[in-house]
Copies of this chain bind each other. A is one copy, B any other.
Amino acid sequence: MQLEFRLTASRPGGRTARTAEAVTAALTAELLEVGYAGTSIDRIARRAGVAKTTVYRRWGTVGQLVVDVFAGIAGQQVPVPDTGSLEGDLRELARSTITMLREPESRAVFDIVVGEAIHDPAARAALDTFFAARISNAAVMVERAVARGEAPAETDPAEVIRQVGSTWYARMYITGEPITLADADRAAAVTALATRAGLLT
């Protein structure tokens, strides 16, 4: 199973949708080529073949466009793993997320949203929405683990999700290291162990 968390996710048809797709593609291409500081609404509009007034009217700034693209990703439903064990479910969730974050396009958008969220409320809200959706999905995984006797009844799904993701996000944004599938497996093992020990209540 792959979490469908991609910048190229399909959108409803129509002219507005085609414009959004072209602008999203132009944005990610620009981010990879010239970076956040090097791009502009004008450049993105030209690249997308869209009138720049259209882009200005709809998004106003590159920052708002990035936040909108990220919010589109965050709002997508993702399947919840169901492998029969909490560690297996967490491993699958971790592997899917790390696979997505290793894609240069996703990473470029993620980097900007995380950097902007430190001081910009719109970016902060976009990240909050993303995690609220993940925590709500994880509640099912934790419920099943409790039913199987793998986790104490008072386990907090939000704490499980924070714990599993924390190591790779810290690698990405604090210690500045690459992330691999081995990090996913370790994060799942540590989180399952801590859950069983009743540390994530």
Within 8 Å by CB of A194, from B114, B169, B190, lies B190
B199 to A189, Cβ gap below 8 A?
A: yes
Q: A186-B199, A190-B190 are in contact. Are A169 and B174 (CB under 8 A)?
A: yes
Which chain B positions have C-beta within 8 A of A124?
Answer: 176
* CA–CA, A60 and B124, complex, Å: 30
Q: A167-B163, A170-B165, A193-B197 are in contact. Are A176 and B119 (CB under 8 A)?
A: no
A127 to B175, Cβ gap below 8 A?
A: yes
| Copies of this chain | 2
B186 to A193, Cβ gap below 8 A?
A: no
* CA–CA, A127 and B131, complex, Å: 26
Which chain B positions have C-beta within 8 A of A186?
Answer: 199
Which chain B positions have C-beta within 8 A of A117?
Answer: 173, 176
Which chain B positions have C-beta within 8 A of A103?
Answer: none
